[in-house]
Amino acid sequence: MSNLDTLKAKIKERLPDLDMVVGWEQGFDPLRATPLFMRTEEDVDRLIWNPLCVHNLATYLPGLKGRKVGVVVKGCDSRSIIELLQEKLINRDDIVVFSMPCEGVVSVRKIQNRIGSLDYVESVEADTGTVKVTVDGSSQSFGFPDVAASKCGRCQYHTALLSDEFVGEPNNEKAEDDYSDVTSFEARPQEERLAFWMTEMQRCIQCYACRNACPLCVCRDHCVAQSRDPHWMTQENSTQNKWFFQVIHAMHLAGRCTECGECERACPVGIPLLLLKRKLNKEIEELFDYKAGTLIDSTPPLQAFKVEEDNINERGW
């Protein structure tokens, strides 16, 4: 039996005690997977697990609080669950976590950049060696690392950090993450950095897909960006205002963001939002030696108080 078949069997076994199990199925074209809400055994038969399963399904959990829900996760997705548990946004007893070792997922955007347009994809064969995409009868093959999500290249958690049903051999490889993307951006002059973000943010359509796709952005319906009373933010669509929202999002996620990349993936106009989130996480790591969603028993640093922080010289002036 393949790992996927074993996983399906496990889900079918647990399904009678659950309202639903969230996984993935093939979407509207050969490149796009889509979240699958399994309620019956026939639903489970449609489950897929492959490098196209890009979505972080933990995003759905806070909205389903109070129901018994199973969720299929990749290693990185499991960090969101840990963070949600730490913040008591979901109940441990209500969720069943299914997982398998993850070798990485593709970046649909990187594939788009290579093939030009995603409009005509006819077939896709994706494994963690190569990704072969056929468009208009002609095929192109890419080495997996070239079209993998950037987070997969620096993954330290191929194996879920929390799971109830794990199928397959755990993979304990750990890549280095030196935040070199952030440091090289930081090295640029301030005016240039600001100009970069203003150029990027100009095309933001204020759809808030970035916010709603984020598993930890849990205010959603009561977000400062849209609340009318109090009327925190102007409804003007100036670039500065769009940027203002992103800074708020990033600040609210500091020390909670697990760098799942959903914000950036969800953005319909391709704004590189993860760079901003990683900048704050780099600060958090330096200040508090903390990586969100990795230790189930710890408290996120901005939700705790310590009289003397180890890395902050508060009274040493």
Binding site for another protein (CB under 8 A): 20, 27-29, 32-37, 55, 59-60, 109, 112-113, 116-121, 199-200, 202-203, 205-209, 211-213, 220-221, 226-228, 231, 234-237, 262, 265-266, 268-271
Interacting partner of 168 out of ligand SF4, another protein, none (Cβ under 5 to 8 A depending on kind): none
- 59-74 as b/e: b if 16+ CB within 10 A: bbbbebeeebbbbbbb
- Residue 135: φ, ψ to 5°: -130, 130
In the bound state with ligand SF4, the residue whose beta carbon lies nearer, of 143 and 268, is: 268
In the bound state with ligand SF4, the residue whose beta carbon lies nearer, of 152 and 204, is: 204
| Binding region for ligand SF4 (CB under 6 A) | 204-210, 213-217, 253, 257-263, 266-269, 271, 273-274, 277
Interacting partner of 253 out of another protein, ligand SF4, none (Cβ under 5 to 8 A depending on kind): ligand SF4
Rounded to a whole number of angstroms, the minimum distance from the CB of residue 132 to another protein is 17
Interacting partner of 260 out of another protein, ligand SF4, none (Cβ under 5 to 8 A depending on kind): ligand SF4
In the bound state with ligand SF4, the residue whose beta carbon lies nearer, of 130 and 240, is: 240
In the bound state with another protein, the residue whose beta carbon lies nearer, of 183 and 237, is: 237
In the bound state with another protein, the residue whose beta carbon lies nearer, of 58 and 284, is: 58
In angstroms, the CA 135 to CA 32 distance is 14
Interacting partner of 16 out of another protein, ligand SF4, none (Cβ under 5 to 8 A depending on kind): none
Rounded to a whole number of angstroms, the minimum distance from the CB of residue 249 to ligand SF4 is 7
Rounded to a whole number of angstroms, the minimum distance from the CB of residue 197 to another protein is 12
Interacting partner of 274 out of ligand SF4, another protein, none (Cβ under 5 to 8 A depending on kind): ligand SF4
Interacting partner of 301 out of another protein, ligand SF4, none (Cβ under 5 to 8 A depending on kind): none
Interacting partner of 216 out of ligand SF4, another protein, none (Cβ under 5 to 8 A depending on kind): ligand SF4
Three-class DSSP labels, the chain: CCHHHHHHHHHHHHHHHCCEEEEEEECCCCCCEEEEEECCHHHHHCCECCCCCCCCHHHHCHHHCCCCEEEEECHHHHHHHHHHHHCCCCCHHHEEEEECCCCCCECHHHHHHHHCCCCCEEEEEECCCEEEEEECCEEEEEEHHHHECHHHHCCCCCCCCCCCEECCCCCCCCCCCCCHHHHHHHCCCHHHHHHHHHHHHCCCCCCCHHHHHCCCCCCHHHCCCCCCCCCCCCCCCCHHHHHHHHHHHHHHHCCCCCCCCHHHHHCCCCCCHHHHHHHHHHHHHHHHCCCCCCCCCCCCHHHCCCCCCCCCCCCCC
Rounded to a whole number of angstroms, the minimum distance from the CB of residue 207 to ligand SF4 is 4
Instruction: Judge contact between 267 and 246, C-beta under 8 A.
Output: no
In the bound state with another protein, the residue whose beta carbon lies nearer, of 52 and 284, is: 52
In the bound state with ligand SF4, the residue whose beta carbon lies nearer, of 98 and 245, is: 245
